[in-house]
């Protein structure tokens, strides 16, 4: 059996924000990171939502937000000063006394490090 690479011709008809994945006897269009859809149509996730498995968008947990086209839940940040998102429990928690939230490392850091 000779395989035809459907992706070699016009990316298999996949959306410009999708990757064409060739397989023996078939192919698949998969939306690129930060986008969701069926691969033929791909859209960025709206503000306060993030891409999940390139097929859907999920809302950021309560009291958190994200910019449009967010890649993962890690792009969701808490709305309150000095709070961090606990990814296991999906809630915003305050940093302990003597610690400040550092947006660069996404962790609570000792006041002495600032």
pLDDT for res 56: 86
Instruction: Provide CB contacts within 8 A for 41, sequence distance 6+.
Output: 15
Q: Are 73 and 65 in contact, with CB atoms under 8 Å apart? A: no
Residues 43-72, mean pLDDT to the nearest whole number = 91
Q: Is the pLDDT of residue 49 over 80?
A: yes
pLDDT for res 107: 87
SS (H, E, C) 27-81: EEEEECCCEEECCCCEEECCCCEEEECCCEEEECCCCEECCCCECCHHHCEECCC
Q: What is the pLDDT of residues 66-96, one digit of tens each?
A: 999 998 888 999 999 999 999 889 999 999 9
pLDDT for res 85: 93
pLDDT for res 1: 65
Q: Are 51 and 70 in contact, with CB atoms under 8 Å apart? A: yes
pLDDT for res 95: 94
């Amino acid at each position: 059996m000779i395989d035809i690479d459907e992706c070699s011709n016009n990316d298999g008809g996949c959306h410009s924000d999708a990757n064409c994945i060739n397989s023996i006897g078939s192919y698949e269009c998969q939306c690129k990171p930060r986008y969701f859809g069926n691969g033929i149509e791909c859209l960025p996730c709206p503000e306060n939502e993030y891409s999940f498995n390139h097929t859907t968008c999920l809302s950021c947990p309560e009291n958190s937000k994200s910019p449009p086209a967010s890649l993962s839940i890690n792009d969701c940040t808490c709305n309150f000063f000095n709070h961090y998102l606990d990814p296991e429990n999906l809630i915003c928690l305050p940093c302990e006394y003597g610690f400040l939230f550092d947006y660069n490392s996404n962790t609570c850091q000792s006041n002495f490090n600032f």
